Amino acid sequence: MFKYIVTLICFWIINIGYIYANTSINNNFEDKIKDLIIKHLSIKETISIDKLVEPYSTEKIFFHAVSYGHIDIVKQLVKDINMKQLRESLNIAIINGYDNIAKSIIKQGLKVNYSIDSGTPLGIASSKGNLTIVKQLLDAGAKYDIKDNDNKMPIYLAIDNNQLNIIKHFIKSGIDINSFKTPETPLIYALKNGKVDITNFLLESGAKYNNSDLEGLMRLYSDNHSILKDLFQTNIPFDVNYVQGGCSCGSSGECYCDYTTPIHTALRIGL
């Protein structure tokens, strides 16, 4: 029962944080909490109040303030929070789209090039399409090529989630779209995943490709017909007479040949 009361009071404190955030009382933060408890429950004994507040630490109050978007409480407590919790809190703020809270945390000098279970700050903001936070992170030194725990960079997360506005800002900020040293370039990755608009934008922005990239895609179209359809809709030139397949010969000397071209596939699937 006691823990239940504590939980109720603490959430009540969080949800009316704006009352004491702007109060003229010159007490410290803990005293303000006590004042609210006294007023709300008519508790007069100081010892009882101390025991009531003790389980709910400053770190927990800060965490809930971030989670529920209470910027006034965040501003009061942020200077007293360790870097590990600031990292976790920044990611939560970005996930929830709390731009002002993210900005407040970043201002504490937090190094933003880190990866935890929830991802990297820039990766999360890119996947969400939150241009405001993306700009804040880049100004704070966020790197374009930082990888999350799944080995994905922000631009690939932006492609996954169709966040063309983020990709445009990356290009505008001077990112070298051809500098990514990954198995697949952003251009090929976008095309393989059916992001036609992003593919065309990357082409217009100077993204390069080579014949082996296109040949790899053409080899895939028999298993993924949508790739062929997407190729037709992009500005990428490709050989419409590309031949896939070949001949196989058995021990008896008889050979079987099976060749497929884009037109065969297009006719078969009604493109």
The pLDDT tens digits for 3-51 are 434 444 555 555 544 444 444 334 555 565 556 555 555 555 554 555 5
The percentage of the chain sitting over the pLDDT mark of 70, rounded to a whole number, equals 57
Q: What is the pTM of this model?
A: 0.69
DSSP 203: H
Rounded Cα distance between 78 and 199, Å, is: 41
- Say whether pLDDT at 138 is over 70: yes
Q: Check residue 256 and give its pLDDT.
A: 52
Q: Check residue 19 and give its pLDDT.
A: 43
* Arithmetic mean of pLDDT, 181-204: 88
- Say whether pLDDT at 241 is over 60: no
Rounded Cα distance between 201 and 195, Å, is: 10
The pLDDT tens digits for 209-225 are 876 666 666 665 555 55
How far from chain centre, in Å, is Cα 200? Answer: 23
The answer for 56, left when phi > 0, alpha when psi is -120 to 50, beta otherwise, is beta
Q: Which residues, including other chains, have CB under 8 Å from residue 85's CB and lie 6 or more apart?
A: 59, 62, 63
